[in-house]
Amino acid sequence: MLKQVETGNLQVVSEDPRRTITEFNFSESAFNDFFVKDDPRPLGQHFHKSKSEVFYFIEGTGTIRTAEVDASGKIIGEIKRFTVTPGFVITIPPMHTHRFDVKYGTHFVSFSSKPFDKNDTVPCPIE
């Protein structure tokens, strides 16, 4: 349980011609800001074994696909498709792969239940 107020500033953690991601890791969670600069290849295409994520879309449009997976990354649940518009909010629990197909200018933020851990991001394409 958090015992004190934490503050910080977002820092660029990934930038390329298609998108910019800024992030701040708290001791027990994380906050990200995503800005899509070009119609990208699908974003995401992974799942987390132990953290959940909440995404809030500020600008732009597109789709998100999700599906439950087993520990090896095999899709075991129905593939669900959601349309993204400004104001759309989605929470993605652990063991659910997710794919974002969003348009140029899409801006969204996320809150993660745990700080970034490269070992908890498992590649998992979804069609």
3, part of any domain: no
Query: pLDDT class for 3, splitting at 50, 70, 90?
Result: confident
32 assigned to some structural domain: yes
Tell me the CATH number at 53. 2.60.120.10
> Using CA atoms in the order 70, 33, 110, 14, what is the torsion angle rounded to 10 degrees?
20
pLDDT digits 0-9 by tens, 42-70: 999 999 999 999 999 999 999 999 999 99
pTM confidence score: 0.94
Give the domain range for residue 51.
Answer: 12-117
Whether the Cβ atoms of residue 10 and residue 23 lie closer than 8 Å to each other: yes
Distance CA 47, CA 96 (A): 5
Q: Which residues pair with 111 in a beta bridge?
A: 31, 54
Residue 5 inside a domain? The answer is no
pLDDT band at 37 (very low <50, low <70, confident <90, very high): very high
Q: How many CA atoms lie within 13 A of 17 on its CB side?
A: 3
Tally of structural domains, the chain: 1
On whether residue 48 sits in a domain, the answer given is: yes
